Amino acid sequence: MSNTSSDTTGDESLITTDVETGSTDRSTAVGETAVAARDLDVFYGDEQAIDDVSIEIPEKRVTALIGPSGCGKSTFLRCINRMNDMIDVCRVEGDVEFGGKNVYDDDVDPVALRRKIGMVFQKPNPFPKSIRDNVAYGLKIQGFDGDVDARVEESLKGAALWDEVKDQLDSSGLDLSGGQQQRLCIARAIAPDPEVILMDEPTSALDPVAASKIEDLIDGLAEEYTVIIVTHNMQQAARISDRTAVFLTGGRLVEYDDTAKIFEDPEEQRVEDYITGKFG
């Protein structure tokens, strides 16, 4: 963690730990929009999971999505890389823009889209292949022509895993510990050099030490990538994100602002209640 400035902390912080909010190495001024949703509704059959969400997510920042279970955070994340297409009953209305284009347009190939957007899941899911093959997977399926080994090394370094595995690149990815596996999945996601990385509760299956390693890592990732992370853990959102979106039950986006603002002085009473643990 590199929270060098402490000007955003204050006694008025709503969460009970004394963590500093926002990794404010990066300027808080919001840059270009990487991903945007406009009037997004998502239904599973008749049940509505996302209700009229509009949001603009800045590039090269960490944006956290928080909210109680079942409020549609994962659903929203899956709309961005169209992983919802795999769910038969799922129906999406409205626009999700990435790179200035609506990803739900007819001429968008979801497979090609996903090659520009990496994803890391809640449960580490390395392939039952060697560490090298895991990281090189995206390169392989995209027919990468360059130096694969160099890319593998670079990605593993980017995921802060290189030093731990550089002598065992040919052993199975499943032999690693849970935290290492998750970092391997991060290396796998960044190897093809995507623009956005989606993370769905990447640390909730890990012990605190492994989780904090991943938090440190996310901070660095935002130098190159747009990171959108779903988390259950309020302290985590406060520590690592620049922007925070609060979803509440019914799939509504209730408040979306700089992380410091959300955690210190939210506009909405419901958000304050949620953050201080009155419900959720």
Partner 1 sequence: MATDNQNATGFGEVSRVRGIVFEYLSLGASVAGLVALGVLLVYVAIDAFDLANASPEWLLTYFLTLVVPFLAFCLYSADDAAVTRRVVGVLAGGLVAVAGVFTAIETFVVTIPRLSWQLAYLFVVAAPVTAYLAYVGSHGRVGAVGFGLLGRLVGGIAVGLAVGTLFLVFDELVWFLAYTLGVLPAAALYAYGRWRAAARAVTAAAPIGLLGLVAAAVLRGVVRTYPSDLVIYLWTLAIPVAAVGALVVAARGSRTAAVAAGGGPLALATAGGFLAGSVGLPGPTTLIVLAVTGVPTAVYVHRVVDVGEGTVGLGLPLLLAAGVIVGALVVEAWGVPAPDPWLDASYVTEAPSRNAAEAGLYPAIVGSVIIIALVAVLSFVLGVGTSVFLEEYTAGSGLVGSLTRLLQINIANLAAIPSVVYGLLGLGLFANLLGLGYGTAVTAALTLSLLILPITIISAQEAIRSVPDDLRRGSDAMGATRWQTTKNVVLPEALPGILTGTILALGRAIGETAPLIMIGAATTVFSAPGSLFSRFSAMPMQIYAWAGFPQAEFRYGVVAAGVITLLIILIGMNGTAILLRNRAERGS
Ligand X SMILES: Nc1ncnc2c1ncn2[C@@H]1O[C@H](COP(=O)(O)OP(=O)(O)O)[C@@H](O)[C@H]1O
Binders of Mg ion among 47-76, rule CB under 5 A? Answer: 74
Q: Binds 65, which of partner 1, ligand X, Mg ion, none (CB < 5 to 8 A, cut-off by type)?
A: none
Q: Binds 162, which of partner 1, Mg ion, ligand X, none (CB < 5 to 8 A, cut-off by type)?
A: none
| φ, ψ dihedrals at 28, nearest 5° | -75, -15
The residues facing 258 across adjacent strands are: 243
Q: What is the largest CA-CA distance in the chain?
A: 54
How far is it, in rounded angstroms, from Cα 197 to Cα 199?
Answer: 6
The residues facing 148 across adjacent strands are: none
Q: Is residue 43 a contact residue for ligand X (CB under 6 A)?
A: no
Q: Which is nearer to ligand X, 72 or 266 (CB)?
A: 72
> Given candidates 16, 54, 125, 177, which one binds partner 1 under the rule CB under 8 A?
125
Say how many C-beta atoms besides its own lie within 10 A of residue 66's C-beta.
Answer: 27
Q: Is residue 137 a contact residue for partner 1 (CB under 8 A)?
A: yes
**In the complex, what is the shortest distance from the CB of residue 214 to partner 1, in angstroms, rounded to a whole number?**
17
**In the complex, what is the shortest distance from the CB of residue 253 to ligand X, in angstroms, rounded to a whole number?**
12
Site string for ligand X, 46-85 (x = CB under 6 A): ---x-----------------x-xxxxxxx----------
What residues have CB less than 8 Å from 275, skipping those under 6 apart?
Answer: 14, 15, 234, 246, 262, 263, 266
> Given candidates 128, 163, 167, 209, which one binds partner 1 under the rule CB under 8 A?
128
| φ, ψ dihedrals at 73, nearest 5° | -65, -50
Dihedral (CA of 101, 102, 103, 106) sign = negative
Burial letters 205-240, b for 16+ CB under 10 A, else e:
bbeeebbbbbbebbbebbeebbbbbbbbbbbbbbbb
Q: Binds 49, which of Mg ion, partner 1, ligand X, none (CB < 5 to 8 A, cut-off by type)?
A: ligand X
Q: Round to the nearest angstrom and report the end-to-end CA distance of the chain.
A: 27
Binders of partner 1 among 248-277, rule CB under 8 A? Answer: none
How far is it, in rounded angstroms, from Cα 205 to Cα 81?
Answer: 23
Q: Which is nearer to ligand X, 73 or 270 (CB)?
A: 73
Q: Is residue 181 a contact residue for Mg ion (CB under 5 A)?
A: no
How far is it, in rounded angstroms, from Cα 272 to Cα 266?
Answer: 6
> Given candidates 2, 10, 101, 140, which one binds partner 1 under the rule CB under 8 A?
140
> Given candidates 26, 60, 115, 252, which one binds partner 1 under the rule CB under 8 A?
115
Q: Is residue 203 a contact residue for Mg ion (CB under 5 A)?
A: no
The residues binding Mg ion (CB under 5 A) are 74
The residues binding ligand X (CB under 6 A) are 44, 49, 67, 69-75, 87, 89
The residues binding partner 1 (CB under 8 A) are 81, 83, 86, 88-89, 111-116, 118-119, 121, 123, 125-129, 137-138, 140-145, 147-148, 185, 188-189, 192
